[in-house]
Amino acid sequence: MRRTKIVATLGPACAQEGVLGRMVQAGVDLFRINTSHGTPAEHEAYIRLVRDLARGLERPLGVVLDTQGPKVRVGELREPLEIREGEEVLLGEKGIPLSHVEAVATARPGERVLIDDGRLSLEIVAVEGKALRCRVLRGGIVSSGKGVNFPDTELPIPALTPSDRRTLELAREMEVEYVALSFTKGPEDVREAKDILGERPAIIAKVELGVAVRRMEEIVAAADGAMVARGDLGVEIGPYQVPLIQKRLIEICNSRAKPVIVATQMLESMVNSPIPTRAEVSDVATAVRDGADAVMLSEETAVGRYPVEAVEAMARAAAAAEGGLPIQVPGLSPELVGQVPGACARAAVAVAGDVGAVAIICATISGWTARLVAALRPRIPVLAATPREEVARELSLVWGVVPLLIPATEGTDALTQVSLKAGREAGFVRPGDRVVITAGVPFWTPGTTNLIRVVTV
């Protein structure tokens, strides 16, 4: 059983139920919708497509709605423009237009401007009203819509644009499982989004800015999970620090029992190739060995020629990486270990190892117990028995967790029986097997995990 989850991005290349069904069979656990592309009506149609597919397959499939964020882009140009090394050009008013002219306000001479994922590099020479005079350090072609990064500047642009607020409203109305918050700068951005969303959907904070790297612990504490968004992150801080930041963010999330996704360019060659490169397979393996809950496909499935093959390759690479030595994780933070649910999770994993259990069944109303147990990376399946469909879909993102829908039964014996029945029907439990069960009394109350039981089926 592969324990690392796979997130696939929806797009024109795969947005047909037949293709999506094959992708799920190949290993997809959640679908991401990138709201930087398409209209709100198209995003809603994608969500409905996933819901219909999940009903047909009778399995929980999560949806991640990714906000566009305050991404600065080149505005509308009549035609592409070539700029050459050594030239001076204007960015902003009366020059190369910017989607957020307010970016000019805090920029200073000597700071860098990168265009098209860093392919073009400029240095600010002077601020001239609502424009920046820049010297071209590395030239190339500038065209409409290309990304513009200010790696040395903290931009005065709010994390939530009007478009993002509409996306959050859609996420709440459609009851998606996760919102990925682009260009998160700090915990205050997460709190602002939570004020709009309420308890659900859960928020995945995307770490892709230099300021976010410096505040990772605060951001993870405020959010429900995180994403290593390596595209803009690599432009902002340079590619050479990305592996270290990836490892550190994964450690922070693991210790807090919050899911973490590694994203961007994981199997990029498969946009046009039916097989991955060796380096790409190694990249997936590194993310898995670092302790990521999930790995993500972007262009590979959204616009690539081989969306199903990309999922198959990702699943094989992740499974192979899991097949070696146990994945080393930092363990739960002292704060969590000092609480009863965290202590029970640690004890359940230890007991399961001692008695040779084939699975740990977590009876959960919120998903928290299952996340705590999974954060310890046990070598046996974590079966999350829950009466709530939305919780089952949320847990589709969490490493090693198999969500099982059960009726909300009262009483330890009744709960044990319905949980074991669900485990047997899913093929994880057989007569004669030992299973460790965790639950909380009073039953179905969030945060009350205080019971561990060993059962022989």
Are residues 186 and 215 in contact, defined by beta-carbon separation less than 8 angstroms? yes
Angstrom distance (rounded) from CA 350 to CA 166: 46
User: Is 206 annotated in the active site?
Assistant: yes
pLDDT in tens, 402-456: 999 999 887 788 888 999 999 999 999 999 999 999 988 777 778 778 889 999 9
Angstrom distance (rounded) from CA 72 to CA 156: 12
Are residues 1 and 285 in contact, defined by beta-carbon separation less than 8 angstroms? no
Fold observed for domain 5-69+158-320: TIM Barrel (3.20.20)
- The active-site residue out of 71, 146, 200, 206 is 206
Query: Residue 413 has what pLDDT?
Result: 86
Query: Residue 327 has what pLDDT?
Result: 77
**Is it true that 5-69+158-320 and 81-149 share their CATH fold?**
no
- The active-site residue out of 22, 51, 59, 73 is 73
435 - beta bridge partners?
359, 455
Q: pTM for this one? A: 0.92
CA-wise closest residue to 359 among 384, 375, 381: 381
Query: Residue 107 has what pLDDT?
Result: 92
For 423, counting Cβ atoms within 10 Å of its Cβ (0-12 exposed, 13-18 middle, 19+ buried), the class is: buried
Query: Residue 415 has what pLDDT?
Result: 87
Q: State whether CATH 2.60.40.10 applies to domain 81-149.
A: no
- The active-site residue out of 264, 301, 409, 416 is 264
Angstrom distance (rounded) from CA 265 to CA 82: 27
Angstrom distance (rounded) from CA 240 to CA 212: 17
- The active-site residue out of 3, 32, 185, 371 is 32
Residue numbers in the chain where pLDDT is lower than 50: none
Token pair 């892709």 is found at 208
Query: Residue 356 has what pLDDT?
Result: 96
Contacts of 88 (CB under 8 A, 6+ apart): 125, 133, 134, 135, 136
Token pair 């990714």 is found at 66
Query: Residue 104 has what pLDDT?
Result: 87
User: Is 73 annotated in the active site?
Assistant: yes
Contacts of 103 (CB under 8 A, 6+ apart): 72, 92, 148, 150, 153, 155, 156, 157
CA-wise closest residue to 384 among 361, 410, 409, 366: 361
| CA trace torsion 164, 167, 168, 173 (10° rounding) | 160
Contacts of 457 (CB under 8 A, 6+ apart): 420, 424, 429, 430, 431, 432, 433, 434, 435
Q: For the chain, give every domain's residue range.
A: 5-69+158-320, 81-149, 334-456
| Residues written for the chain | 457
Are residues 203 and 177 in contact, defined by beta-carbon separation less than 8 angstroms? no
Fold observed for domain 334-456: Pyruvate Kinase; Chain: A, domain 1 (3.40.1380)
Angstrom distance (rounded) from CA 368 to CA 86: 56
Are residues 186 and 153 in contact, defined by beta-carbon separation less than 8 angstroms? no
pLDDT in tens, 3-29: 999 999 999 999 988 999 999 999 999
The angle that helices 17-26 and 307-322 make with each other, rounded to 10 degrees, is: 10
